[in-house]
Structure 1
Amino acid sequence: EENYRSTGHILAAASGIIARNESRLGKTLFTAADEGEKLRVNGYWDGADEARSVSSEIESLQAAGVNLSKVAVLVRAGFQTREFEERFIAIGLPYKVLGTRFYERAEIRDAIAYLRLVTQPSDDLAFERIVNVPKRGLGTASLQAVHVQARASGKPLMAAAIDLVTTDELRPAARNALGGFCKDIGRWREAAAGMHHTDLAKMVLDESGYTGMWQADRSPEAEGRLENLTELVNAMQDFDTLQGFLEHISLVMDGDTDSEQGEVMLMTLHSAKGLEFDTIFLPGWEEGVFPSQRTIDENGAVGLEEERRLAYVGITRARKQVHLSFAGSRRIHGQWQSSIPSRFVQELPPETVIEDIAQGLGGGIPFGRASQARLAGGGEFGDARRGGYGPGWRRMAARQEAGSEPSFTAQGNAGGFASGDRVFHQKFGMGNVVHVDGDKLEIAFDRAGHKKVVAGFVSKP
């Protein structure tokens, strides 16, 4: 069957991945187009580095006169758009999210409303948004009574509610519910002075019942909303204070990216089916992210094959260029975790790709069908002295060959680091170890400040 969209290298790369699916029908695709450019596989230190580099590549395309509407960034899960949105806004790169932008999603607006009300009790819009979310049994009549009290007293809604619960204007059930809400806001406001703002956010979302509401929800969207809430807390860690983060959100929400040069499309792989673009960026190709660990845990081999079909879809959305990337570490659930490239990266035919891996992440990836054998046997790509990932990759290959899924949690403190050690990091330079937690190090760098890094990226001078 002929493919009229993609070049030869793009089609060959996608076919090399999808051929691993045992349930796939024996359909062979071909194209009359020329071979075109090879896929570029990029490795970065972390998610922020990945977002910066992808943005820079897109800016280069824009400077060369490429209409940005012909460029797309495709991610596995909705929460991954946040880091790219932040970067696009910071550099003024026009973009459009197919669906809803991260900070405009309902669950993110709800969470931010809680935080705004904690920091500024006079915020009436925030009060109205979350006073009955999750549902507290406050009906229309009760909320109207709060508004009447606010107008009569000239006070904000929160202050009016506090006054109202001391009277008999409301039914006992509504009075207790509203009173409990007001006490919670007051308690969180007092706690904010003595705790980190990310811990405060977790406390508010958990104790308000908001997280529990989505955990109990059985709709297909619920899991994605929980992932978005986790990503929101991750985003807060880039700011020194809650107020600074909320001010940043205000700027982001006011951003206008209209452009005569078009807008970069940012979407999930599921949303991309049926679409096509000249240039495609595929970030986040790491084990546990893509393929999704949850999908594999829930559906086993069937789930893995569905993930592989998504990889095929992502690559074949491109007419001319594919930029595929992974990061050496990501912040997941508030903790830095080391990661390894997706098994789908290994499945790419070697003749279809060009590597560009950040120094220190490893100089080569075992591509193609024979990769597992080469890794296990210490062949060309599995030999660290020749630029491969070395013994760690061979251990992973051996586990896969034995039929067990690899564990993606780094083990121990292989470098033997201790607090006070003077160390060197390829990206952040010289610094002193402040705290050691397994293979995670907190380091006070001379120029970059305090950072949490993976021990594997650090050496002793």
Structure 2
Amino acid sequence: RGVWDGEAESRLVAEEAERARRAGRRWREMAILVRASFQMRAFEERFVLLQIPYTVVGGPRFFERAEIRDAHAYLRLVQSEDDDLAFERIVNTPKRGVGDTTVSRLLQVARGNGVSASLAARGLVGTDELAARTRTALSNFLRDLDRWRALKETLPHQRLLETILEESGYTDALRLDKGPTSQTRLENLKELVQSMGAFDSLEAYLEHVSLVMDLDREAGEDAVQIMTLHSAKGLEFPLVFLPGWEEGVFPSQRSMDEKGDKGLEEERRLAYVGLTRAREDVRVSFAANRQVYGRWTSQLPSRFVDELPPANVEAASETGYYGGGPGMYEARSRWDDTPAFGSGYTSPGWRRAQTRSAPAYGGAMRGVHGGGSRQPVIEGEGRLVAVSEPSASAYKRGERVFHQKFGGGVVTAVEGNKLTVAFDHAGEKKVIDTFVTRA
């Protein structure tokens, strides 16, 4: 099934999981299998807010990952100099020459004088109690904190975190790290930065994180399983969701860049793994857009969607997102004109959008029955097309609407099916009209 973006995809999966639950399926009979761990964030947040029990298999939850906790510690310390837990976590992360002995001494002085660790550090750097090298490292760190606090007043919070991660040396340390998880950790940080764009201020974002962490309790045995495709090998579930089937996400662009055709074949085998984890029902989804560092990029369905057997696929794209039925071809696509692509778009997915006229097989796959054949048994077929020109919205300027994420607001502009809404608490946002209701 094609949807507008990653957040819409997480809503779709949550709604279908709840629908399956109401139909009698247990939470533990459902699994979400992603290509990369950064994709988990949207599903985890959505499930926490809807109080759907879930567990992450094969690793920590998104907000519990070390790099995410480090980034949040930097933000919390910039927000409040009195946050001693944040100070202790990142004063020597990455390594900057402030050892455990020095940190213990700082905390001891802070407790003895009833002040914050940051204030104790400011006092100690002016004495001979610390070694000269340690004083220099600590002074530089405190100076960086002061500069970032000043930038907080002028920089958007997404850009602020990017600046902190770069100037602190955190991202450089990960880039230089040749370990197997360093690239994944960088991807998780990119996802974190992107997710902050939904909030109008650093304060609002940190409040959201606090809420999610408070609500995020370890689930019992009956919980939706979230894991990467690699972790899913050998497991089976009655109902499987396979989100993010887009070119560059799955197959992974990094894998293809590093290994060429061999990498593509490895990705194709992973697709087979995902599809065959489902005993009864598997649902593939893809987004028309992904937001990276605050910029929206258009996506195309994975080439693996094309390779699914046409007789076994039911396409269920929402109107205007890639496809949905034969009638979708009649709508004019904004990708109809070749010059719109530029010379750089040469991937199979982009070429398909311009030239393919045979039926393609993206969509929500249903009715995957177990047994010897392990073939998906799915009804109907759809056509893969580019994003169609949206129809006019039924909403008018001045109408009051409600959005599940942003709350109530007033429509200030209408362009096709896109609305500009001045939300009461979230400020002005552009949203698709299908994501709001009349208040």
Q: Distance in 2 between matches of 1:362 and 1:314?
A: 22
Residue 266 of structure 2 aligns to a residue in which SS?
helix
Matched length: 378
Residue 355 of structure 1 aligns to a residue in which SS?
coil
Whichever residue aligns with residue 291 of structure 1, its letter is P
1:311 aligns with 2:271: yes
CA contact (8 A) 2:2 2:323 kept: no
Identify the match of residue 84 of structure 2 among 124, 128, 151. 124
1:262 matched residue in structure 2 = 222
**1:270 to partner: Cα distance:** 0.7
Residue 93 of structure 2 aligns to a residue in which SS?
coil
Cα deviation, 1:91-137, whole Å, max 9, x if unaligned, reads 11000011110000000000000000000111111011000000011
Identify the match of residue 274 of structure 1 among 234, 253, 259. 234
Q: Distance in 1 between matches of 2:20 and 2:207?
A: 31
CA contact (8 A) 1:364 1:388 kept: no
4+ runs deviating over 3 angstroms: 256-261, 362-365, 387-396, 402-408, 423-434, 442-454
Change (3 A) 1:384 1:65: closer
Q: Distance in 2 between matches of 1:132 and 1:312?
A: 44
Change (3 A) 1:74 1:179: same
Q: Which has the higher contact order (CA 8 A, sep 6+)?
A: 1
CA contact (8 A) 1:281 1:323 kept: yes
Change (3 A) 1:206 1:321: same
Identify the match of residue 169 of structure 1 among 129, 143, 147. 129
What are the within-5 Å matches in structure 2 for residues 179-194 of structure 1? 179-194=139-154
Whichever residue aligns with residue 84 of structure 2, its letter is D
Identity %: 49
CA contact (8 A) 1:383 1:389 kept: no
CA contact (8 A) 2:54 2:226 kept: yes
2:187 matched residue in structure 1 = 227
Q: Distance in 1 between matches of 2:2 and 2:328?
A: 18
2:50 matched residue in structure 1 = 91
1:60 aligns with 2:19: yes
1:145 aligns with 2:110: no
**1:252 to partner: Cα distance:** 1.4
Cα deviation, 1:63-90, whole Å, max 9, x if unaligned, reads 1221111100001100000000010011
Q: State which drifts further: 295-304 or 142-151.
A: 142-151
Unaligned runs of 5+ in 2: 355-386, 398-410, 433-439
CA contact (8 A) 1:336 1:453 kept: no
CA contact (8 A) 1:116 1:246 kept: yes
Q: Distance in 2 between matches of 1:253 and 1:212?
A: 28
1:331 aligns with 2:291: yes
Change (3 A) 1:55 1:209: same
2:9 matched residue in structure 1 = 50
Q: Distance in 2 between matches of 1:238 and 1:275?
A: 35
CA contact (8 A) 2:318 2:324 kept: no
Residue 234 of structure 2 aligns to a residue in which SS?
coil
Q: Distance in 2 between matches of 1:146 and 1:97?
A: 36
**1:389 to partner: Cα distance:** 7.1
Q: Distance in 2 between matches of 1:67 and 1:154?
A: 52
2:329 matched residue in structure 1 = 384
CA contact (8 A) 2:300 2:349 kept: no
Whichever residue aligns with residue 27 of structure 2, its letter is L
CA contact (8 A) 1:363 1:389 kept: no
TM-score (structure 2 length as normaliser): 0.78
2:259 matched residue in structure 1 = 299
Residue 271 of structure 1 aligns to a residue in which SS?
coil
**1:145 to partner: Cα distance:** 2.6
**1:138 to partner: Cα distance:** 1.6
CA contact (8 A) 2:421 2:430 kept: no
CA contact (8 A) 1:72 1:265 kept: yes
1:12 matched residue in structure 2 = none
1:358 aligns with 2:358: no
**1:243 to partner: Cα distance:** 1.3
**1:394 to partner: Cα distance:** 9.3
Change (3 A) 1:118 1:296: same
Change (3 A) 1:93 1:427: farther
**1:450 to partner: Cα distance:** 3.9
- RMSD of aligned alpha carbons: 3.4
Whichever residue aligns with residue 185 of structure 2, its letter is R
Whichever residue aligns with residue 311 of structure 1, its letter is A
CA contact (8 A) 2:247 2:303 kept: yes
Q: Distance in 2 between matches of 1:133 and 1:180?
A: 13
**1:429 to partner: Cα distance:** 7.4
Residue 280 of structure 1 aligns to a residue in which SS?
strand
1:244 matched residue in structure 2 = 204
CA contact (8 A) 1:362 1:388 kept: no
2:301 matched residue in structure 1 = 341
Whichever residue aligns with residue 169 of structure 2, its letter is G
Q: Distance in 1 between matches of 2:190 and 2:237?
A: 31
Q: Distance in 2 between matches of 1:246 and 1:364?
A: 39
Q: Distance in 1 between matches of 2:129 and 2:335?
A: 71
1:39 matched residue in structure 2 = none
Identify the match of residue 158 of structure 2 among 198, 203, 211. 198
TM-score (structure 1 length as normaliser): 0.74
1:371 matched residue in structure 2 = none
Residue 134 of structure 1 aligns to a residue in which SS?
coil
CA contact (8 A) 1:429 1:445 kept: no
**1:290 to partner: Cα distance:** 0.5
Change (3 A) 1:236 1:216: same
